[in-house]
Structure 1
């Protein structure tokens, strides 16, 4: 039996881009992941399909059907899974050694002769003040910084915080887990000698597009936090460095700041749009509603045989060329060429058509430059392009997914041609972590809600309703969706979404990821006074 192992991994403060390369590597190899509730569920998309995900969660963040694991259960599960020869990732928010139980868990593993390692992560008391425009150190303001627990658990264990020392230090104070005790902790510092006029701030959900920052003084901060309705998780910063926020805040100035935007593309394809939205300040949520699987054996055989028709002496239709419908179709094409022991030379003297710039770019990356790329990335655009080239009525091979529109084949047949349609890959509905489902519920139901959702196909919209409906019920799922703005990548997708009974609020002008981003920006643009 393979010897088991446990990695105690820091996932960072929330932003999935702050996940370290080391952490991503561990997740990609995990058999089991035991995850805390302050970890962005999007990082779990790095896990392979077989990974068992267990949630160490509490309170309103518990996903539907998710087990509430006590710390003792977490310890026992790590040991049991590791001793069964599995690779376990214990995934913790921030850094596992910064006010977490990483060291305690390591001690438990050591007592049970289980090998382990620590993988550091970006910690929220450093990241949250930065994204709020508050430097925790500055040569003109403070020579030191102290990280302090603002939670009474340490005092219950007999580890009293040295408030007198902290109150009289010259450095910045960063108090963790301090929303509930903000008033008490501020008063302790004032009672110990800290000036009540000392600048102070609380930052909730640091590094997220829904980050909240409240600024005041030690004397009035608790009242401001209560008035703003700040909930955990948050950090409290005390010191003159807070005043620098007025001049160097940057994170909250971006146009989509405060907006949660759901991206429903396949996990492996969502990164581009997520990064574009995040760069504009949005809290981009990866909710994959599509995944891809290889075509069935008979479908692969049909594609291989069709490609052999292009080779010299090949039997079959005299194809004018090949039509590739998507970037995934490009990969299917080249996998088939390899299986059939062929290469791109079989397309010499033939036409290669790509539906969409993304498909064209993927073909070029693989060494095959398309001859035809329609202005409109849909069947209507390709039909017109083929008509303009006077080749619509010829024999064509099309590689696409297992589902699609029949418009192209009908137009080619009407023009006197023939379309041989082969399935290059299948689309499926992926499983979505329960924690991610829970986070999309409205604030009044314990989640964070969402302001907008982007769909790149009618199928992703259908899968979104199916996935959320299975957990929430169809009526509630549709009610939640009705609260948000719906953006479609193009008119065909918009029509498919409308057919599902979903209102469409915006349609991208360009059928690209940048086009979706621009549509979201325009939708939430502040009206001119």
Structure 2
């Protein structure tokens, strides 16, 4: 068996949007991922279903795996012919021990690629409003580890030169050694009044920033119970934070909002929440599946002279159903095809199926013959005028929803875990079906779910959704005005700020 390959991928500092395009592509191709604790776990949503995920993150005072074991796993999995991604926080080659892993892979004859990442040394201060260089305050920076290899006989960091040799000092992994770091810098000539910032979980929704001076920051850390991981910034640039603190000033900063959905993939609502500084916990709590009624209709009512699809989703459900039910497409030989959405025509073209009618009711009326049988697959809303007109022409139209909805246990379990950990500030419902599946799902897994929801702000996209939520025992705090995604965002911000929705016009922009 040919050996596989290893890719050392920098995940960036924490915000999942800061991984590179190339890093994301590597995750999509991975057979195995060895991930750090500093890499955002949401990035793992991009790996294939078959991918094996191994947590090799090292934790202070509780290391999971030592470096030799990590190297062994990288080599072992690659020798099985697999594509192995080593997902590392920040950049693999900036105090990430990526060089050691690359050395081990090279020695074992394993092809190894490096995908650089945005280092926390630069990005984390930026998210705290601190430029590491500035024309007026700093023309030089130095990046230093605050946690050297314990096997070293003595430190190789020349603090006497660093103290005055760089205007901005960035110290990684240094919180536990902060007292000695401050003492050394002051002893070697740095003023005790030099500004200092510590940024914990930088670029994430949990970001915390503590500022002080070399002379008092150690005391402040103790008084505030400030814990790692954190990036330490020393220098006059820290003062810029007073003017440039953009991330922590966003209206949803620090808030985690649950967004239950009926499908995987990106969420427009989730993107808006995150653009406003929050974290969207987007969990599919239900899945769309081909409606069983379609199978029975095909078998019992066929053949049909026409197949009609309201949109892409309906066409997709039809083909998924044929595969799931083991039905032969040749059953439809000779049937004509109509679609009512140009994107559905493109979808069918990719399946090798040409359409006869595309979003043209007049052409459809001219093409059908009296007595012809038409199977029309639609979404939740009836097709109304079109069906009436086809009936008036003597056609027999069987109209039905193409999809049924099933509860997804994996999404429900993630939602339950977030509630149990107290990590949910709000929940946004965009449909009554999502409400039902969410409540049905968590009700079977969390006995005290109503108690846990008391501290969670609940917003709904409209009166119908709100009515479904209240009927199932939820307290609805706000209803979107207007009944749109933008209205949902405005309603949620109103909950957090306690202001009337009418005063929050920014959210609908």
TM-score normalised by the shorter chain: which range applies?
Answer: 0.7 to 0.9
Task: Give yes or no for the alignment of 1:328 onto 2:302.
Answer: no
Aligned to 2:487: 515
Aligned residue for 2:280, secondary structure, equals strand
Distance (whole Å) between structure 1 residues aligned to residue 65 and residue 437 of structure 2: 30
Moved more, 460-469 or 239-248: 460-469
In structure 1, how many angstroms separate the alpha carbons of the residues matched to 2:13 and 2:295?
45
Counterpart CA distance in 2 for 1:179 and 1:303 is: 69
- Equivalence for 1:27: 27
C-alpha distance in 2 between matches for 1:520 and 1:308: 48
Partners of 2:458 and 2:476 within 8 A in 1: yes
CA RMSD for the aligned pairs? 4.3
TM superposition shift of 1:133: 1.1
The answer to whether the 8 Å contact 1:201/1:236 transfers is yes
1:423 is aligned to 2:402 = yes
8 Å CA contact 2:306–2:338 kept in 1: the answer is yes
Higher Rg of the two aligned structures: 2
Q: CA deviation at 1:108?
A: 2.1
What is the DSSP-based 3-state SS (H/G/I as helix, E as strand, rest coil) of the residue aligned with 1:264?
A: strand
Which of 474, 477, 484 is equivalent to 1:505?
477
| Matching of residues 238-277 of structure 1 within 5 Å | 238-265=234-261, 268-277=264-273
Contact 1:210 1:260 in 2 (8 A): no
Q: Which residue is 1:454 aligned to?
A: 428
Does the aligned pair in 2 maintain the 1:10–1:23 contact within 8 Å?
Answer: yes
2:178 aligned with 1:185: no
TM-score normalised by L of structure 1: 0.74
* 1:483 corresponds to: 455
Q: Residues 435 and 421 from structure 1, CA distance in 2 versus in 1: closer, same or farther, beyond 3 angstroms? A: closer
Q: C-alpha deviations, 1:405-452, integer Å up to 9, x for none?
A: 99x9xxx9xxxx986324346645163699997666547xxxxx2211
Using the TM superposition, give the Cα deviation of residue 195 of structure 1 relative to its aligned residue in structure 2, in angstroms.
0.3
Provide the secondary structure at the position in 2 that maps to 1:200: strand
Residue 346 (1) aligns with residue 325 (2): no
User: Alpha-carbon deviations, 1:235-294, whole Å to 9, x = none?
Assistant: 110011111122222222222122122223367443422221111121233333344556
Q: Structure 1 residue 513: deviation in Å?
A: 2.9
Q: 1:300 to 1:24 in 2, by over 3 A?
A: farther
Q: Which of structures 1 and 2 has the larger relative contact order (alpha carbons within 8 angstroms, sep 6+)? A: 1
Look up the SS of the partner of 1:329 in the other structure.
Answer: helix
Contact 2:290 2:321 in 1 (8 A): no
**Count of residues in Structure 1 that have an aligned counterpart in Structure 2:** 465
Structure 2: distance between partners of 1:107 and 1:159: 23
In the alignment, structure 2 segments of 5+ residues that lack a partner are: 323-327, 348-356, 362-373, 389-395, 504-509
Alignment of 1:113-512 (within 5 A): 113-151=109-147, 153=149, 158-265=154-261, 268-292=264-288, 299=295, 302=298, 308-310=304-306, 328-329=313-314, 331-332=316-317, 346=338, 397-400=376-379, 420-424=399-403, 427=406, 429=408, 431=410, 441-442=420-421, 449-458=423-432, 460-461=434-435, 474-475=446-447, 479-512=451-484
Further displaced range: 491-500 or 79-88: 491-500
8 Å contact kept, 1:7–1:118: yes
Q: Cα–Cα, structure 1 residues 14 and 370, in superposed 2: closer, same or farther, change >3 Å?
A: farther
Shift of 1:113: 2.4
Deviates most, 221-230 or 104-113:
221-230
Specify every segment of 5 or more residues in structure 1 that has no aligned partner in the other structure, as ranges: 312-320, 353-359, 372-394, 444-448
Deviation at residue 322 of structure 1 after TM alignment: 6.5
In structure 2, relative to structure 1, the CA distance for the partners of 1:305 and 1:3 (3 Å cut) is farther
Q: Is the 8 A contact 1:133 1:244 kept in 2?
A: yes
CA–CA separation in structure 1 for the residues paired with 2:187 and 2:335: 78
Greater Cα offset, 34-43 or 268-277: 268-277
Change (3 A) 1:12 1:427: farther
